[in-house]
Each structure stands twice: as C-alpha cells, then as structure tokens.
A and B are shown apart, each in its own frame.
Chain A
Amino acid sequence: MRFVPFLSSTAVTIALVALLDNPLGKVPPPGPFFSPQYGFWQNAEPIDQDYSGTLTCNGLQGPVEVYFDDRLVPHVFASNEEDLYFVQGYLHARFRLFQIDLQTRAAAGRASELAGGKAINFDREQRRLGMVFAAENALKAINADVKFRTLLDAYTAGVNSYMDQLTEAALPIEYKLLQNKPEKWSNLKTALLLKMMSKMLSSGTENDLANTNAKSIFMPDELQQLYPQVPDSLLPIIPIGTKFPNPAVVPIKPAHADSFYFNNKATVQAQSLDPPAPDNGSNNWTVAGSKTKSGFPILANDPHLELSLPSIWFEIQLKTPTHNSYGVSLPGAPFVAIGFNDSIAWGVTNSQRDVKDYYEIKFKDQSRSSYWYNNQWVPTKIRIEEIKVKDSLSVFDTVAYTIFGPVQFDNSFSNAAATDRNLAVRWAAHDSSNEGLTFYKLNKAHNYADYEDAIRSFTCPGQNFIFASRTGDIAIWQQGRFPARWEGQGLYVMPGEDSSYLWQGYIPQQENPHAINPVRGYLQSANQRAVDGTYPYFIPGSYNTARGIRIDNKLSTMSNITPKDMMELQTDYFNVSAEDVRPVLLSAIQVDQLQGKELEYLEIFRNWDLMASPDSKGQTIFQCFWDTVQASIWKDELSRINPMATWPTEQTTIEWLLRDTLHTFADNINTPQRETLPMTVTSAFKKAALVLASKEAEGKLVWSRYLNPSIYHLLKDALPAFSRKGLAVGGYGNIVNAIKHSHGPSWRMIVHLVDGMEVYGVFPGGQSGNPGSRFYDNNIAVWEKGEYNRCWYMRDDDRKHEQVKWVLKFNQL
C-alpha cells in the first residue's frame, strides 16, 4: 500500500508549488520571488557588471554608439536625431523603467492600480485637477508639429524597444515585489510626465482656498499687511532700476468686484489632499566674463525638488553631427532639460507665479449636467473616470467640465464631510502647449537669439531660464504664459456665474521679466518675486525672498570668480533670515524669566555663527524657537477659521518685526490678558526649550540629526530599505543650500564656458534605478560632502579614451 504515501506526497508537492506560486498576504509569491533564476536575486548586478553589448533594433535608421563612462553616464553618438532620441528612450527604460511607469501612472491618477485602495483619493484628485485632460491637450500641440512628433515617436519607440525584449528575470525588483508589470510607453505618457512637473511647480504656488478663508476673517487693510505683494527687502531677479514699458494689456476689474468678490465673506471647506510641496524651488545664477578669473562666463543651477531614489534626473550626453548637448534629462522625456552644449549653457528655476484660479459654479441640480453661466443654463461636459484598484473593484468618479475647467471640488469630493461650494479650476497647465519644444531647441542653440527663440513658446510651469554663451552673453527670462490680472484677481475663489471674472488676456511674451548683459555682470534667481513694484502687472505667487538676498549679496561683491567659488555658494549654509531677525528676538526676550537649560540654549543661540551646518546647535535652536514664535503670533488669528487661513510668509513676519509693527498680532486672542511682543517671544522660547531638551536627550540637538535629511525610494514607506536616511548635511528652505527633510538640491551644476567646457555636476542618487546596482546611490556620498563630479564632455576623437568603460552598440534591423 505505497499508493497512499505516493499520492499524498505528490499532492503535497503540487500543493506546495501552487502555494508558493501565489502571494502570501503582503509577501510576493515566494517561489518566483526567491527563485535565483527569476526572482530578486536576478536584480543583484555583479559589481563588475558589463554594460557593453550589441543590439539590433527595429526602428533605427543607422547605427548608434553609446559610450558609458565610469559613473555610467551614457554618451550617445547618433547620425541623426530620431536615432538619438530612440536610444535615449531605450536607456531611460533600461535604467529607470519602474520610475517612468510609476510616475506617469500616478500623474494620470492611476496609482491605485499599484498601491490599492489607499491611493483612491489621490487618484481622484489627479483626475479632478484634470491631469489627463491637460496631457491630452499637450498631445494636440505635439501632434500639430510633425517634425517634433517624429522625434517623440522615436523616443517612445526606444522605450518600447527595451520593454519588448524584457524578460521576467530582468524586471525591476519593484514589479516583483508589487506583482505588477510595466505598461507600454506612449507619447501621452511623456505628456503626462511633463504635466506631473507642471503640477509640482505651478499647482502649489497659489493659496486661493486658504486666502478665501483669510478674507472671511480679516479686513482689507489687514489683508494688505498680512499678505503684501512686494517684500521690503526683495532683491528681484530683474535688477532694480530696470525700466518696464507701458503694459500692452490692461485688464479691467469687473464693476461689482468689490461687493461680490473682495467683500464676499463666504468661506470654503475644500482643501487639496495632495498639495505640492511649497518648497519646490531652485537657485540659478550666472556671472559674466568681467567677473570671472578666466574671462569666460560661469553658469550655476540647482533645482530643489523632492529628493527621491531613483533620482528624478538622469545624466546624459546627446550627440549628432549637428549638435552636442550634455546635462540631466527627465526619465520619460527626450532631450537634456538642464545642461549645456558647445556654445551655451542654460538652467531653470521655478517662477513661483500663480497660474491657477478657482471659480464657484452653480449647478442646476445634483446631476451636475448644467451650470448657470451668462444668464442661462449651459451644459457641462461630463467625464466618467474609472479608477482601477489593485485587488478590488473599480471606483468610478464623475467630473464635470465647465468653461473654466474641471470642477475639482463638489459635494462628491472634498476632504470635508460636506462642501457647499462647487469649485472649478482654471489652470494654465490645461492649455494646449508643447514645453518639450523649448528643450529641444535649447539642446541645439548656438547663441542668445537661438535661446530666446527656444523659450518663447514655453507656457507652463513658468520658469526662470538662465543663459550664458561662450561668446560672453548672459541673460535671464522669466518665461511662461501668464494671465494679465487686474489687481487682486485670482487671489480668492472667484464668482463663476458669468464671463466677467475670466482671464481677460495674457501678458505679452516680450513683456515677461527679462535681463540681458547687465552692467553689474551677474544675474540670479532663487524663487523670489521677479521684479520690484514698478512692473506694470499684478503677479501674485508663492515667493521665497531670503535665498535671493544671500546670493545677490555674495555675487555683487565677488570678483575673479572660479568654479570653486560657485561650488561654495551652492553649498552655502548662511542663514540670512536669522541674521535679520536674531537681534529683534534677542532684544525682545525677557532673560530674567529664563532658567537652567533655557539660559544655556539662549547662549548658544546668541553666539551662533548663523550657519545651518550639519553640526550646528545654534541653527536647531533658532529654527525651533523661530517656528514657535511665528506660531505664537499667527496661529490664534489664522485658526479663527477652519481650514486655517494662509500663513503670512516668513519674510513678512521678519519685516513686521524689523519695523516693530507687530503689536496687534502679538496678543494671543485666546487668553484674557493682553500679550506684548516680549511676552510672546519669551513664552515661545520657553516652549521651544522644552522641545529642544527632549531632542537633546535623543541626541538630536545638532542640526543634521534634528533635520534628518533623507532620500526616499519612490514608494516611500512601503520599501524603507531602498531609502537612504540620516544624511550628514545641513541647510534649510530659506538657505542657499536648500536641504529640508526630504527635499533639496536635486542636481547641482556649474558650467564654466571655457573652450571644451569645464563642467561639474552631482545629484543625490545614481544613474541606475536598480537598488541592486552599485550605481543606485553612488553619487549620494559625493553630494553629501558638498563635492562634485567632473562631467566628461566627450568628443568625436575620444572613442578610445580611457574614460570609456563600456560600449553599447545599436544596429538597425
């Protein structure tokens, strides 16, 4: 009777195979996942991995050669542009497949397909913001330009060419963990990626909803004081004294704006669930040959973004017989985004301009199929959104589109339990435009005229394009298609029952703020307001003033500048806000009320060198103290309404303190007695000291331990092992070296425009998106130390150069 054991052991074998072939709860199917043949082990690249090879691809017109240097930077040599971008697409897919797939799915509001039910509200907001609508409109502009479309088609074909030959074993590890597969690439996905950047950079630069609540509790003169448009200490992008022409477009304020708009005290409950980080910003500057040691210009740029692994950037050189560009590209899109070629260098910072407004919509009924507009009921366009959810049923959402744009908030979608107001969003990113064309042209630009032509069509997100050429020109343009607003237009939710509050026109491109070859010999931008109060348009936004002050102060006094000086400035830790406000705080604080630890912290703060360096205790004490002071001054007032009214900017608070005019707000309205500024500051210090003492007990009094700078994997807490935490760096959002907890200089670049180009660059990550590759995080240590890689600008006759570590050859089929 051996049949029974045979049958039972066979059954157990089969059952075990079947069991291990399926996920166990959150654990991916253990069989394939642990299989050395298919599973994660296959993602463990040999340390001496050979990236050389020869590939035959359908879709190429001629051979393409890719030379990888010792940092795995590909130097792509193609005989024509289509082949060039085909191979760029292939390389982005080869090294960053999961990233480009995840980011574009998330952009389209499809994160739930990978993440499950917890991402449904994120997806709904993406759809309701009109992300796909925006990308489809961008695609219309792309398709209208046949030449450009051909290049994008080639890029897409390159991405898909890699995917087509992808084996199960070679799938990025994230897919093995999430049990998912990559999706075919398309031109729409590239458009979605660019809209993701638009959202990041131009969707969080307005505060219309919180401003509306501020308007409900403050008088008009208070609003002016709390939210001034031009800070006293502003050092704008365009040098002070620049004359602006009379405006060609003069928008007219609607007749009843005072009663229906400015004095409307209605509040809004709606709030964005996923607002972009308010600190998305950047620095760039350029110095003319008159200020450099070599006599050639130097250009520097460091875009501050969410720091992630894989990095948002991929370094690459793109060469055809007619152009030769180098810099960082955005995986998922062709071209170099920030970089240089043999004639010019360029960089970008965010304009921080407000290009997104909300309009209140009156629907006829619950069906949302028509709305009141210009004295009649007008039909909406209804878009039914299906959100597929991993391991669950699809969720459907109905989004009504109006003349303004999609109704983002209505009674079926808001953070609040019920919202009484239907809010349509008018966002510049919805307009049909092709931002990629600008980068394509910049890659090939030879001189100022080419640069000006390249940026002219750039619509959204508004960027400060900085420029320097080998021939000695320096320039900057704040470029975008910006609405020409009447004073106060779009600061708050606007009436949407007729056309009178629509954007009436746009600031003509030629009137965008710009400067060319200024006498002072340098230009800089750091997310501050671009112009002083003499600019003839109303340009609200979310500006940062402090970094620009520090950069301008440094550049104005420097001479004989070398690239090393520029590195020191990019990694500068000086806290200019603290320099301004420390004397006021020290004079206000009532020392006789302090004791023990408090006095100890006060002494450290008093003697602090104003540097936010990683080992600084003074910076920790200042930031903790200063945050508490700001909260003590404002929180009681702003909390009179829920959701809370907009916080005045740090700069506004500093300037109020410096002018000694904060008396009314220093009082805590929630207590019976009347607090003075010294009382408020002293009690804030005492509160901060308690926090600091507990931090000190945990060994977190030094700034880098307090700040805990970290670079998270794209899936954040789901895969903590793929993140890099606790980096030994300092800085802060208001400091030139703008590192916050998981946010900061995502690429530091310095281009010295000498013959052959002397270029330094570093981003906190690596070329490969594979955590099993030594190129996953190899640049983090360099970045952490404030050091740079020397970028190797390869020439035609360098093919046998010792810098070439691997050669990947592409042949046409």
Chain B
Amino acid sequence: MKFFLSVLLTLLGGIGISLWAQSPWWGFVPVAFILAVAIHQAPPKAFAAGFLGMLLAWGGLSWWIDWQNTSLLSKQVAVLFPLQGSSAALILLTGILGGLLGGIAALAGCYLRSAKSKVE
C-alpha cells in the first residue's frame, strides 16, 4: 500500500512540478527525494517507487504529447538518435531517464531517513 502510494505521489508530483513554468528540468528530483523521506520504505522499494513514479510521469507526459502530435516529431527524432524511427522507444527512453533520476533521488531520501533514525 505504502509502495503504491509513493509511486502515485511521485507520479503526480513529477507531473505537477513540470506544469510549474519556473521549475528547472530536474525539478522532480527534490520532489522524489522528499517523498521518499516522508514515506519511508526499504531502500530497494524506495528506489523502485521513485523509478516507477518518474518512469510513468515522463513516459506518460511524452506519450500524451506524442499522441496529440500523432508521432509526427518523435518518428523523426527517433531517427536522429537512432532508434529506427520508433516513437515507443523514444517514449520509453524518456521515461527511463526520468525514472533513473527519480529512483536514485528516492534512494537518497530513504537513506536520509535511515541515517537520521540511527542518530536518534
């Protein structure tokens, strides 16, 4: 339950921060970090939640843009990169990038909580 909640919150936070025009591209990193501090889980689970949440956030956002664009641009960018013109691969790559950062940030957040509890 805790796991799904943290995935969901990371997803919503990741999307939410993207809608705020002033945030930098990595604005979701502190969000994932704080969420992992707030919702304490074992490190592997924290990483997985951050990863999944951001994979869905960036993957979902790019999928949504791509769907509205009928993949006009992604097909071309996926040739430049080279992903054989596959829009799906480009969306997945976008999601994985977000996911990796989200996961590691969540991991750091999780360790902060553990580090604090040790001290106390």
Contact = CB atoms under 8 A, between A and B. Distances in A.
Given A2-B111, A9-B104, A36-B65, A31 B97 contact: yes
B94 A6 contact: no
Interface stretch (A455-463, A555-563, A598-606, A770-778): A770-778
Contact of A2 (B69, B93, B115): B115
A508 interface: no
Given A36-B65, A41-B62, A41-B94, A47 B111 contact: no
B69 A34 contact: no
A773 B18 contact: no
A36 B26 contact: no
Interface string B56-71: 0010011001101110
A1 B115 CA distance: 7
Contacts of B29: 13, 17
Given A2-B114, A6-B112, A13-B33, A772 B73 contact: yes
Interface string B3-22: 00000000000000010010
Contacts of A12: 104, 108
Contacts of A772: 69, 72-73, 76
A47 B69 contact: yes
Given A13-B101, A16-B100, A41 B43 contact: no
Interface string A661-704: 00000000000000000000000000000000000000000000
Interface string A10-38: 10110011001100000000111011111
A44 B73 CA distance: 6
A35 B58 CA distance: 7
B104 A2 contact: no
B77 A721 contact: yes
B62 to A, nearest CB: 5
Given A6-B115, A34-B93, A34-B94, A721 B80 contact: yes
Interface SS of B by simple majority? helix
Given A5-B43, A41-B65, A44-B66, A13 B104 contact: yes
Interface in B68-114: 68-70, 72-74, 76-77, 79-80, 93-94, 97-98, 100-101, 104-105, 107-108, 111-112, 114
Contacts of A241: none
Nearest to A45: B69
A176 to B, nearest CB: 10
Among A36, A167, A720, A722, chain B packs the most CB atoms within 10 A around the CB of: A36
Interface in A717-732: 719-722
Contacts of B62: 36, 41
B114 to A, nearest CB: 4
Contacts of B107: 5, 9, 13
Nearest to B15: A36
Contacts of A53: none
A38 B25 contact: yes
A319 to B, nearest CB: 32
A36 B55 CA distance: 12
A273 B119 CA distance: 71
A24 to B, nearest CB: 12
B68 A47 contact: yes
Contacts of B66: 41, 44
Contacts of B43: 5
A2 B118 contact: yes
Contact of A10 (B18, B74, B80, B108): B108
Given A2-B114, A41-B61, A47 B26 contact: no
Contacts of B79: 720-721
Interface in A745-779: 771-774, 776
B73 A771 contact: yes
A773 B69 CA distance: 8
B9 to A, nearest CB: 18
Nearest to A719: B80
Contacts of A774: 72
A167 B21 CA distance: 10
A43 interface: yes
Nearest to A46: B68
A39 interface: yes
A20 B65 contact: no
Nearest to B93: A34
A40 interface: yes
Contact of B101 (A2, A16, A39): A16
Interface in B32-48: 33, 43
A20 B69 CA distance: 26
Contacts of A13: 29, 33, 101, 104-105, 107-108
A20 B115 contact: no
A46 B69 contact: yes
Contacts of A44: 65-66, 68-69, 72-74
A722 B25 contact: no
Given A30-B97, A43-B73, A44-B73, A36 B112 contact: no
B26 A31 contact: yes
Nearest to A723: B76
Contacts of B65: 36, 41-42, 44
Given A12-B104, A772-B72, A36 B115 contact: no
Given A2-B111, A773-B72, A774-B72, A36 B18 contact: yes
Contacts of B94: 34, 36, 41
A36 B58 contact: yes
Nearest to A771: B76
Determine which residue in A10, A30, A43 has the highest number of CB atoms from chain B within 10 A of its CB, and name it: A10
Contacts of B108: 6, 9-10, 12-13
A279 to B, nearest CB: 28
A91 to B, nearest CB: 22
A290 B7 CA distance: 78
Interface string A621-650: 000000000000000000000000000000
Contacts of A21: 25-26
A721 B118 contact: no
Contacts of B114: 2, 5-6
Contact of B25 (A1, A32, A721): A32
A767 to B, nearest CB: 15
Most buried by B among A40, A45, A177: A40
Given A34-B93, A36-B94, A5 B111 contact: yes
A774 B104 CA distance: 38
A47 B23 CA distance: 27
Contact of B111 (A6, A32, A37, A771): A6
A97 to B, nearest CB: 17
Given A6-B111, A36-B65, A20 B101 contact: yes
Contacts of A45: 69
B25 A35 contact: yes
Contacts of A20: 26, 97, 101
Contacts of A34: 58, 93-94, 97-98
Nearest to B107: A9
Cβ-closest 3 pairs across A and B: A772-B73, A6-B111, A721-B79
Given A6-B111, A167-B21, 7 more contacts: A9-B111, A13-B105, A13-B107, A20-B101, A30-B97, A35-B58, A772-B72
5 contacts: A2-B114, A6-B114, A31-B101, A42-B65, A44-B68
